[in-house]
């Protein structure tokens, strides 16, 4: 197999990258300054070598515990539970949340063989039971599996005597009623608020 | 800068990859089996080390002259002129063309400072003047600059006494009159054929 075919094949394994895009990227990497290609290759290797999960929350970090877990300016009494470390970045970008996180590493999905023991659930229970945490915000995705995971965690954590909340569902800001799906509109109506 | 930010930045430099996609790819590379990431990094380095332009036609190849130039089953009397080596792959996929190629390495673009001396024009003239070539198919893109490049080459190559043709313009197969631009429809009408 040629080096171009080989690179195209590897690029096409990336999520959302089809055969044509992979080919375009491969040619770009061939034509780009040599430094650019080298830097990308090195960055891929470096990220694998330097980044690992935080021992406390599961966030991806180069120093463990991570900067969020060791921060003295954050609220240690609130833990936001997310499916993936990438969700933390999305929430941090909003600047609206100043508590801690806990990464499950996925969501319950019996069809894919993902049960509670495959997820980072036990450390969460231990953490919540430690006496410091007062609220657990369940921020798993608003999908069927994300909801099921949130339900499961609520049942598990509820008896520990902490507040368990779920992120709100409704119409996305900038969204359009006309294009929103029925379930979302129904949720938005049910959870309407006083103005 | 963190290794994740670094990798995200490098990925975002690729064409058509925005910040969000870059982040998604970076997280994928972090979560993927270690082999996958290593193979991609190696493939990027390998493609730069092993692939270079064919000394005859400018096609990207690991052996020069390339497999097309050295093939005995292809028609050496016809040369198809394309802007980029990636265009060769697109034409080869059709299986409709059995001649040779010549890669210009771009198109005339005075605004970007690309004149004839920046392109692989002189070797083309030498090749066409060598006595073997009987037809030059100008397959630069049907864009303003691609057309200008084709016009320039026709004037340059015409006096050499070979047939100079241009790939047809018209409605793309599977296209829709309603969504086609006016210029394309006009071209399709002008170059209508007997059925």
CB atoms within 10 A of CB A49: 11
Judged by a CB distance cut-off of 8 A, whether residue B48 touches chain A is yes
Percent of chain B exceeding pLDDT 90 equals: 69
Question: CA-to-CA distance for A72 and A95, rounded, in angstroms?
Answer: 16
Judged by a CB distance cut-off of 8 A, whether residue B26 touches chain A is yes
How close A108 gets to chain B, by Cα (Å)? Answer: 18
Interface predicted TM-score (ipTM): 0.74
Residue with tokens 């052996």: B63
Which of A29-38, B2-11, B147-156, B178-187 comes out lowest in average pLDDT? B178-187
Structural domains in chain A plus CATH codes? 3-50 (1.10.8.420), 60-194 (3.40.1360.10)
> How many angstroms separate the most distant Cα atoms in chain A?
64
Length of chain B measured in residues: 195
Nearest-CA neighbor of B46 among A46, A1, A36, A3? Answer: A3
Residue with tokens 């600047």: A95
Q: What is the pLDDT of residues A139-167, one digit of tens each?
A: 998 888 999 999 999 999 999 999 999 88
Question: A44 and B30 in contact by Cβ < 8 A?
Answer: no
Question: B44 and A39 in contact by Cβ < 8 A?
Answer: no
- Among A43, A59, A60, A92, most B C-beta atoms within 10 A, so best to mutate, is A43
3-state secondary structure at position B69:
helix
Query: Does residue A193 carry a pLDDT above 80?
Result: no
Question: CA-to-CA distance for A187 and A195, rounded, in angstroms?
Answer: 17
Query: Does residue B174 carry a pLDDT above 80?
Result: no
Q: Give the pTM.
A: 0.73
What is the pLDDT at residue A195?
Answer: 66
| Token pair in block for residue A65 | 């515990």
Query: Judging by DSSP bridges, how do beta strands B135-138 and B163-166 pair with one another?
Result: parallel
How close B131 gets to chain A, by Cα (Å)? Answer: 32
- Among B3, B24, B105, B106, most A C-beta atoms within 10 A, so best to mutate, is B3
- For A163, the enclosing helix (H) or strand (E) is strand A163-166
Contacts of residue B131, Cβ cutoff 8 Å, sequence gap at least 6: none
Judged by a CB distance cut-off of 8 A, whether residue A67 touches chain B is no
């Amino acid at each position: 197999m040629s080096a171009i075919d080989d690179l195209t094949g590897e690029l096409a394994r990336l999520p959302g990258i089809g055969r044509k895009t992979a080919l375009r990227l491969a040619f770009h990497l061939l034509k780009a300054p040599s430094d650019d290609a080298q830097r990308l290759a090195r960055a891929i290797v470096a990220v694998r070598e330097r980044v690992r999960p935080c021992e406390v929350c599961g966030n991806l970090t180069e120093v463990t515990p991570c900067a969020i877990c060791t921060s003295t300016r954050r609220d240690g009494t609130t833990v936001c539970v997310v499916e993936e470390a990438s969700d933390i970045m999305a929430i941090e970008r909003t600047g609206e949340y100043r508590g801690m996180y806990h990464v499950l590493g996925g969501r319950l999905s019996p069809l894919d063989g993902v049960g509670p023991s495959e997820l980072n659930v036990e450390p969460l229970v231990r953490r919540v039971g430690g006496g410091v945490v007062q609220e657990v915000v369940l921020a798993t995705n608003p999908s069927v599996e994300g909801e099921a995971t949130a339900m499961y965690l609520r049942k598990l954590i509820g008896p520990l005597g902490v507040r368990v909340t779920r992120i709100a569902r409704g119409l996305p800001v900038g969204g359009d009623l006309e294009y929103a799906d029925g379930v979302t509109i129904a949720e938005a109506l049910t959870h309407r608020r006083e103005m």
